[in-house]
Structure formats: structure tokens, C-alpha cells
Structure 1
Amino acid sequence: MTPAIRADEDTEAEELPPDIARRARRLLGSLARPYRGGIIAFAVVVALTILASVLDPVFVALALDEGLPRAADGDVTALGWAIGGFVGVTLLGGLGMWLANRLVGVLAQKIMFDLRTRLFVHTQRLDLGYHEKSTSGRLVSRQTSDMESVQQFLGYSLMDALSALGQMTCIAVILVVLDWRLALVVFAGFIPLVFTTRAAQRTQRAAFRRTRTSIAKVIVHFVETMGGIRAVQAFRRQPHGRQRLESEDEQYRDANVRALRGVAWFAGSTRLIGNVTQAAVMAVGAWFVIEDWTQIGVLAAFVLYLRRFYGPLDELVQTFNLYQSASAALEKIAAVLDTEPTVEEPDHPVALPARRSADAAGRELAFSAVRFSYGEGPDILPTFDLRIPAGQTVALVGATGAGKSTLVKLVTRFYDPSAGTVAVDGVDLRDLADAALRRSIVMVTQESFLLSGTIADNIRIGRPEATDAEVEAAGRAVGLDAYVARLPAGYATDVRSRGGRLSSGQRQLVSFARAFLADPDVIVLDEATAHLDIPSERLVQSALETVLAGRTAIIIAHRLSTVEIADRVLVMEAGRIIEDGEPAALIAGTGRFAALHRAWRDSLA
């Protein structure tokens, strides 16, 4: 069994697994398998089309060697059959080519649809650790540039390749039937052709892999620049960005130049071999006619067939290079699809116990002997134990790097602990189905990312089946209603790309409304009030006191005003809890939180 690629491995370009070509072929086979019937029909049509397209020189030979001599004697039957056969196979070949192209186009689009869907679904399933290591630009490259390369080959070049290979095979058989001695001259040209093709295959695959890697870097830089365009313009980073793009674009250009040099060498070599072979056949064939060892019609058919034999070879050269590019692209896609998430769904999920009552929706959280580190790095949480009773609101306080965000990433199961367990109502999070976990635990971050669509659409992400009245009620609960009332379309207002129509505070309120509508058992707020102004923050704090009642809540906040609604404060340092108590009790003491609170009060004076 082939080992899966883990999400914590670098699967880019030069570090692709050695068997990635086989994995790519297996992927293509799995995509084609549901369309076996269409593929068989396509193969039959292609075979008939090829057969029809290679028979017309035979009728030319019949017309010259039998039809014309008999016609000179007054019998035009043979000539008529030869002409009729020529016209018939020509029409049949044209009709078959139309039908084959139609079939391959439909099949290619179905396969690409499945591949795009599979890649999108899989990348969403991959855990946060994978996405924090990989850039969004690389995934965009997989979904765009690499997909386009695969589609170009399947939708356009594949038909040309099959047609060319089929024609060459049929022509080779016909040449043997016409005159096996002349056919040997043709086949002698295969010897250098085979060695040339094998050499090109080795060098071109590596060359096109470099082009896929290079264009991915260009796309990554473009996506990052456009995503951070405000910072780029604010700090006048345009010249630096242009220099970086030029450097990466030069790498892409150079990779393409190397690949095209290989294309030119291969195309020139095959053309030279073909021309030499045709010249040899004409010379030997002329000698055979002079010696009366063959007929002029046979030689004429040979010359016609040779043009058709080496004509497709030129197409195969171009198709071969497109195939190499598509193969390299498919390998990159296969590498992503073979990446297994480190946070995996349980094989036999366990259901959460029933809620204690409809009014008390909170659940207990417990960390037992938890140890966690990112990859092979140092422990962020060394032997951590914590119990948060159901319905309690806990505030996490501490300097940057104290382990607060890591703790909530474990609560939301974006990561699994390196050792120990994180449990909700006694159930290990690793035993919960992902859907059940996401219904029970909801996180609001400081990023406040909004998808394209209306305000209502973004709130409804928390519960897609919610009615308009429920969406509006969630908006009122967090104080969003006052903003929305000033908009001409209300909750139907389009937020535009990344929520650009709303201020950062308004976007955060939409995120709050989304979480409240989801009605979770546990709410995690990671710096969720960081972008709110003072009036908005007070409004949200007032709403939070009502909404968080009866639920378990974990709040990370550097602004200590947010901590005032907490039942309990945990002060963290180096992954450990150094203070634990009620806010008022800690403020009255002489510990770390009391000092932080005094410094915060002084900053407001």
C-alpha cells in the first residue's frame, strides 16, 4: 500500500515523492472510471475514424493499378468502385472525426469538473496546520494553472495523440501488406526514433516540472500582493513587489526556455529522421519499380502513406510536450490530493451526551495532561491541565507567545494535542465527528473574514437554514442592527469582496452575529473585539453578557475591558497558568493580572 503524504510535509516541486508519476496515473484512472461507457464509445469511434482515414491511399493504388488499365479497355467498373470507395471513406472519416471530438470534449469536461470539485473539497478538509504551511497562492495555482494544463491536454491534444498513434499503427500494417520489403526501410527509421523519444521523455518531464513550480511562485506572489494591497500601497512596496515579480517571472521564463529548447531538439530530430526515411523509401522504391519488383501504384501509395505517417509524428511531438506539461501539473494536483490531514475524522464517532436542559447549553471543557508542539518544535503547552465548568466564561490573559491562541486552537480542534486529551463533557474531541464538533464549538477570530454575498448570507453561515427573522434577531443581539438600518438594502446589502463595503468593526459584528445564530454550546473569542471602537465594544460587551449566559465561553483579549464580563481569569505564561481566579479578586491582589490592570487603567487616564 502506497503511504499517504502527510500534511506536515513539504510537497512542492523538487520534493515530490519518487512515485508521484504512478500516483498521478492512478488519480487519472479513478477520475475516468465512472465514464467507462463513454470512453469505450469514444475508443470505438476513434478506431473507425482512423481506419477510414487511412484507407483512401489504398483506393488510389487500386485506381492506378487496376482501374485505369481496365478503363482504357472500356471497363470503368473497377475505377468507379475505387473512386466511390475513396469518397466513402473520406466522408466516413470526417463524420467520425466530428463525433470523436464531440465525445472527447464532453468526457474531458466531466473529468475536469470532478477533478476541480475533488481538489476543492479536499483542500477544505485539510487541517489548519497544512494551510498555515502552504500558501493560498500555491493552491490557487493548483486550481487554475495546473488545471488548465490538464484540461488542454484532455480536451484538445488527447484526440490528436490517439488519432496520430492509431493512424501510424494502421499505416504500418498497410505498408507491410503493400510491400514488406519497402516497409522494412520505413521501420529502420524507428530505431533512432525510439532512442530520441526516450531521451526527450526523461529531460522534458523534469523541464516541465520546473515550469509548473515557477508559475506557481508567480501566482503566489500575485495573490499575496493583491491580498495585502493596502499595506503594499501604504508602505510604497510597489517597486519591491515589481522586482520580486520580475525575478520570479525570469525563473519562469528561463524554465520555459529550457523546456522549449528540448521541444525544438525533439521536433528537429524527428523531422530529420522522417525526411531521411522518406528519401530512402523513394530511392529504394524507384529501384524496385525499375526492376519490376513492385508496381507504380504501390510506390505512389507508399509515398502518400509516408506523408501521412510522418505528418502525425509532427503532431505527436507537440502533443508529447503538452502531455509532459499536463503530467507535471497532474502530479502537483495528485500530491495535494494524497496529502492526508493530521486532524482526522474518527472511524467510529461518539455522540455528545444530551444537554442538561434547553436553557443551559454550555458544556464542560477539560484538558488532561495535554502537551503540544508545532511539528518538531519546542513544547508550547508542556503538561497542561485545566477544567472549565459548563456555562463558565473564562478570559485568557498573557503576553504574546504565552500559549493562549494555541489553547483555543486545541479547543476548536484545529490541531490535536501531542499528548493527553482535550474533552467536552467527557468526550475526547478526537472521537467527535467534525460536523458535531463544529455545531457545538464556534470560534470568532480577529480576522472577521466575510465571503462575497449579502450581510444576511454571511450571518446565515452560522446556520444556513435560518429564516430572515432569525438572521435579523442575531444582528440585533450584537448591536449590528443600528448599522444595517442605515443601509439602503438592509441585510440584503452586498458586502463586496472580503467585506470591503463594511468597516472593520462592522465586519466583526457580522462575525459575532454569525456565531450567535449558530447557537453553539461553546464560544471561543480570539481577540474578537480588537477592531471595535470604544462605543461598539461597549455595545458588544453588553450583548455578550446576554448571549453568553448559559454557555461556556473562552475569551482571549489584550484589551482588559473585555475581561470584565468573565467569571474567571487565567493568566498564562510560557504555556502554563500562573494565576487563576475571579477578575475582582485578581485585581485586588498583587499578582501579574493586577499589574496589567493597573497599567491599563493608567493608559486610559
Structure 2
Amino acid sequence: MARKPKHRPETNKHLNRFKYTQDQAIEKPFNWAQMVRLLKYVKPYTRRLLPISIIAMLVSTIVRLVVPILIGKVAIDIAIAENNTNLLIQLVVGIAILYVLSYIGNALRIKYVNILGQNVIYDLRQHLFSHVQRLSHKFFDSRSAGSILVRIMNDINSLQELFTNGIINLLMDIVMLTGIVVILFALSPKLALAILVIMPLMFYISTKLRRNIRRSWQDVRIQQSRLNSHLNESLQGVRITQSFSQETENAEYFNGINTDNFQSWNTATRKSAMFRPFVEMSNAVGTVILISYGAFLILQGDIEIGTFVSFAFFLGMFWEPISRLGQVYNQLLMAMAASERIFEFLDEQPNVQEKVNAQDLSDMKGHIEFDQVQFAYDEKRIALHNISLEMKQGETVALVGHTGSGKSTIANLISRFYDPTKGAVKIDGTDLQDATIDSVRQQISVVLQDTFIFSGTIMENVRFGRPTASDEEVIEAAKVVGADDFISRLNSGYETEVEERGSILSAGERQLLSFARALLADPRILILDEATASIDTETEMKIQQALRRLLKGRTAIIIAHRLSTIREADSIYVLEHGKILEHGSHDQLMDQEGEYFELIKAQFQMLDAI
């Protein structure tokens, strides 16, 4: 039995950060149109797996419907009544053969339905992940990694039972119920009507539960999303938590969210469990009616004892599929809650749209123009104000300015992670909105301050820049940027396994790997966004020569504060609040003694203070 938490702190303040728009309750009626959309994922398997499953299900169902008739009408009313031993033996053998067929049918049904279900889940998860991968940065700006993880893992997992058992069980139970009702009315319409009189009441009561049950399962999904978001955030930030001794506070934080998750599951399961008692109550009422009214009809001579026995068999069989239908209905409710959340992501369209007739920039030179570009992340935050600038092919251009001045926004627009609100960003004279996204990004490499290292070997991480590269090309790229020195000192060299985010490597070593990855990609445009900020002075001196080789022949955009990184740039743009204040070479800007001069002066004063 689940234990209720002893202490539940006030959680409203804890949940504020989890109020993402996609995690609010989706108030829509239960509609079969959405279920039909979900069932479309079964379509690729309708020619092979589904027919076998349905045939196997029909065989086992027909056997179950035939056996009670054989027992009641043939065994009791004929064989036993007439003392026909041979017929009775034949009947026993026949029923045994039918049960063997039923066993084979059930085995095939379970096997092929599970294969079908796992294939459907695989396809759905693959589709969702591939779709999310193509969404724009704006989509990820307003969602935590944990909430996205819930959609791809938990919500799709909740559909597994529906596809592996629910759908075929639903068909089986419908066939079973239809067959039983037809047979009951064929045997005795009076007794059938008397037994089934409870059905309208049962249907009315069950429909009253649907809305509440569905909302409860929606709430479960929301609470799981919040729980996963917090877990993801806590595990990634565990070092910060420990450094500030916030373990207790974080545990209380988790306790509040975990309690809400606990309570949502309790509520949903309690409401769902209410359906089965109604079925059992109906079964009890039906049994009472069968015994009392059935005995009366026997005494009146309207039915035979064999018919009564068949009714008793069918009555037990009748409430079983109804009970299962209640379970299937709960599965449908869970599937509806999950599919609403899954389709919400699948219906999400990238903010950066590719035109149907977009052209391929396969032979990019690297000449960049910003023509009166304005960009806003939202209505209240304009990042760039009518920016016009030019970066010629092969030039190294530095962007400097205080935090929030718009430097990284310019880099994001060049990579077309966002589209400008107004104006145009052009490469080689082509508006990026007229070009295919892949052809643009495949020829641009970005090196960030907080570089990401994937779980795997160092060789695999560097090769991520160009998956088709040979081992020799990977090693050569590492040598050019000076990463080969530290890699060679590792026990397994390039085959050294690095953990998630490269935690076994220093910040400088991770940055060197990102340089090697960028060089291996052989881009026409290279963007360095504070790429040397995590590298110590000694390491930076070692890679200056490598950077010259890396930048040679490429258009390079450098976002940095360090003088050593930007002084050799062909052109420097000084930005402030999304506007260009100054533009020129290092010497030209120093002679002007303007904003750039003050930035450099402040940097030297800081170094002197150190």
C-alpha cells in the first residue's frame, strides 16, 4: 500500500517555474477523431500483423461462444436427457479440440499484437523525436528539457498498453458481447430482456464518471512533467546545490512536487477503480434475475434446463468483457490525455519555415549582409534595431559590447536559428529565408562558451562535426587545434569514454574538442561565441596559431571580450542595446577613443588590479 508523505510543504512557489504553456490542462471533449489520428500509426501493419491478430482473436472468441451452447443444448438437453453416451464422448472430444484451437488462437493473438504494438510505439516515438529535433529555438526557449522528455518517454509509454492489448481486446470484447446478446435472444427473448434491463442504468452511471476520470489522468501527465523537469534540473545542477549547501531546501522542493504527483495518481486510480464495482454490482443483479426468473420460466415450461445452464455460462461471460471494456476505457482515457500532449508537439510548427521553392546554397562563399535588420524575441524585448552591416568573404569580424547588446542574436540570425522581424539577412546576396535551412547550417559551424560534449568516445565527439570523416581526419583536426596533446596523454587516447557533458575533461579541454569538431566540419562561416572564455591564458596562447589556421579562408564572426582574440580582426563592430555604436579596425577604433576604447581601457585596468 502506498504511503502518504508525512510532510508536504507549501508548493505554490515551487511550481511557479513549471508553469509552461504546454503543461496546462487541455480542456477538449473526448473525440474519436483524435483517436483515429492515433490509430493511423497502425496502418503500416494492417496488411500482415493486424489480420493475423484479428483472425486469431475471432477463432478463440467463436470457440468461447460455441462451447456453452454445446454444453447446455447438446450435452444436457440431448446427450444426458436421452442417456446417449456416445454423443457425450464425442462432445467431450469435440470441446477439447475446440479449446486447443482457442489456445492456439490466443497464443498467436498475444504474439502478433505485441509485435504490432511495439512497432507502433517505436514509430510514434521516432516521429515525435524527429519532429522535435526540427523545431526552432523559440520552441525550446519556453520549455524545460524535463517536460519535453516526459512527452517523448512517459506519454508514449502510456500508449503501449493500448496498442499491445487495448485495441485488439476492444474488438474481441465487442464481438463477444454482440455474440452473447444475439445468442441470448435466440435462446430466450424473455429471459434475455430481464437480464439486460440493468444495462441502461449501468451505461448512465459510467458516462457520468468519464469527464472526471479523463481530467484526472490529464493532471497525472501534468504533474509527471513537472516532476521530470525538476529532476532534470536538479541532477544537472547538483554541483551548484552542494556548493551552496542547499540539499535540504532542494529535498523539500522535491517533496512538494512529488506529493502533488502522488496525490494526482491516487485521485486518478481511485476514480478509475470505481468502474469495476459497478460492473460487479450489475453482475450480482443479473445473477439474481437469472435464478429467480429463469427458474420461473423452467417451471412454466418456457425454457429447458439446458437453456438455463447456457444462460448461466453466458451471464458469467457477459460481465467479463464489460469489466474489460471498463479497463479499456481507462486505457483510452489515459491514451487521450497522452495523445493530446503528443499531438500538441507534433502540431507545433517551426518558427523558422522553409519555403517550398527554397534554393540550395551548396557553394557558399561566406559574404554576409544585414540589411536594416530588426529582431525581437517578444513584443517587450527588441534585441536588434535596424542593424545594417557587411562581412566580406574570408574576413574575420569581431562583435563586442556589454551583455545583452545583441552580439549572440546576430550570430543566431546568421545560422538562421531565428528569422528577423524586419529586414533581411543575406549570404552571397541570397536572403536566408529563400534558402534551404540544411544547406545554410551545414556550412556554418558554431563554437560556444559552454560547449556540449556527448556521452561516448573522444573520437565520436570530434567526428560529430562530420560523421563521414576517417579516423586520420579526426586526429589531424585535433592536432591542428592543439587538442592532440592532452588526448594522447589519456589512457585510451581517442577511444577514451567521456561521460555526459564531458565531466572528466576540464573546461579548456572540452573547448579544444569543440574547436576540433568545428574544423573537421570544414565550414565556410565560423562563429566563435565567447569560445576562448573558458581557456586559461597559457592554453589560449597555444591555440592562437591554431585559430589562425582555423580561420584562414573562412568568414569568421568572433564574439569575445579578450583583446588578444579580437585585435587581429579585419573589422570590429561595437554594439549597445541592439544598435551599432562604432565600426572599424582595432587601431581605428582606438584612435577614436570612443566606446571601444573605454572597453579596452577597462579590461587593462582590471588586469592591472589583478
> Which TM-score tier does this pair reach, normalised by the shorter chain?
over 0.9
Counterpart CA distance in 1 for 2:461 and 2:168 is: 45
- 1:231 and 1:154, CA in 2 relative to 1: closer, same or farther beyond 3 A? same
Match of 2:472 among 465, 469, 480: 469
Aligned to 2:76: 64
1:307 aligns with 2:316: yes
> Secondary structure in 1 aligned to 2:104?
helix
Report the Cα offset of residue 452 of structure 1: 1.2
Aligned to 2:204: 195
- 1:118 and 1:103, CA in 2 relative to 1: closer, same or farther beyond 3 A? same
Check the 8 A contact 1:545/1:565 in 2, yes or no: no
- 1:335-363 Cα offsets, whole Å, 9 max, x none, are 111111111223122133746xxxxxx51
Counterpart CA distance in 2 for 1:22 and 1:344 is: 31
Check the 8 A contact 1:23/1:334 in 2, yes or no: no
Q: Which amino acid aligns with 1:66?
A: I
1:40 aligns with 2:51: yes
> Secondary structure in 1 aligned to 2:274?
helix
Counterpart CA distance in 1 for 2:278 and 2:58 is: 29
1:581 aligns with 2:592: no
1:264 aligns with 2:283: no
Check the 8 A contact 2:287/2:315 in 1, yes or no: yes
> Secondary structure in 1 aligned to 2:196?
helix
Report the Cα offset of residue 10 of structure 1: 6.1
Q: Which amino acid aligns with 1:65?
A: D
- 1:514 and 1:26, CA in 2 relative to 1: closer, same or farther beyond 3 A? farther
Report the Cα offset of residue 111 of structure 1: 0.5
1:283 aligns with 2:283: no
Show structure 2 runs of 5+ residues with no match: 1-18
- 1:183 and 1:110, CA in 2 relative to 1: closer, same or farther beyond 3 A? same
Report the Cα offset of residue 488 of structure 1: 2.1
1:444 aligns with 2:435: no
Check the 8 A contact 1:380/1:574 in 2, yes or no: yes
Check the 8 A contact 1:55/1:89 in 2, yes or no: no
Report the Cα offset of residue 78 of structure 1: 3.1
Report the Cα offset of residue 21 of structure 1: 4.9
Q: Which amino acid aligns with 1:224?
A: E
> Secondary structure in 2 aligned to 1:523?
strand
Taking only the aligned residue pairs, the percentage that are identical comes to: 32
Counterpart CA distance in 1 for 2:494 and 2:355 is: 38
1:541 aligns with 2:515: no
Counterpart CA distance in 1 for 2:163 and 2:363 is: 52
Check the 8 A contact 1:46/1:163 in 2, yes or no: yes
> Secondary structure in 2 aligned to 1:401?
coil
Aligned to 2:494: 491
Counterpart CA distance in 2 for 1:337 and 1:180 is: 51
Show structure 1 runs of 5+ residues with no match: 1-8, 356-361
- Compute the TM-score of the two structures, normalised by the length of structure 1: 0.94
Aligned to 1:296: 305
Check the 8 A contact 1:11/1:335 in 2, yes or no: no
- 1:291 and 1:261, CA in 2 relative to 1: closer, same or farther beyond 3 A? same
1:566 aligns with 2:569: yes
- 1:15 and 1:558, CA in 2 relative to 1: closer, same or farther beyond 3 A? farther
Counterpart CA distance in 2 for 1:548 and 1:582 is: 17
- 1:105 and 1:11, CA in 2 relative to 1: closer, same or farther beyond 3 A? farther
Match of 1:229 among 235, 238, 242: 238
Aligned to 2:37: 27
Check the 8 A contact 2:68/2:313 in 1, yes or no: yes
Counterpart CA distance in 2 for 1:242 and 1:192 is: 48
Counterpart CA distance in 1 for 2:292 and 2:362 is: 89
Check the 8 A contact 2:443/2:523 in 1, yes or no: yes
Check the 8 A contact 1:27/1:334 in 2, yes or no: no
> Secondary structure in 2 aligned to 1:301?
helix
Check the 8 A contact 2:362/2:439 in 1, yes or no: no
Report the Cα offset of residue 26 of structure 1: 4.2
Which structure 2 residues correspond to residues 68-217 of structure 1 after superposition, within 5 A?
68-71=80-83, 75-217=84-226
Aligned to 2:9: none
Match of 1:513 among 516, 526, 529: 516
- 1:7-47 Cα offsets, whole Å, 9 max, x none, are xx965243547479556424323211111112233222212
Moved more, 575-584 or 159-168: 159-168
Check the 8 A contact 2:407/2:575 in 1, yes or no: yes
Aligned to 1:358: none
Matched residues, number: 588
- 1:543-576 Cα offsets, whole Å, 9 max, x none, are 1122212211111112233112311111101101
Counterpart CA distance in 2 for 1:63 and 1:199 is: 44
Check the 8 A contact 2:511/2:531 in 1, yes or no: yes
Check the 8 A contact 1:23/1:331 in 2, yes or no: no
Q: Which amino acid aligns with 2:44?
A: P
Check the 8 A contact 1:59/1:85 in 2, yes or no: no
Counterpart CA distance in 2 for 1:584 and 1:23 is: 67
Aligned to 1:5: none
Aligned to 2:604: 601
Aligned to 1:399: 402
Counterpart CA distance in 1 for 2:164 and 2:453 is: 36
Counterpart CA distance in 1 for 2:360 and 2:269 is: 58
Counterpart CA distance in 1 for 2:512 and 2:392 is: 27
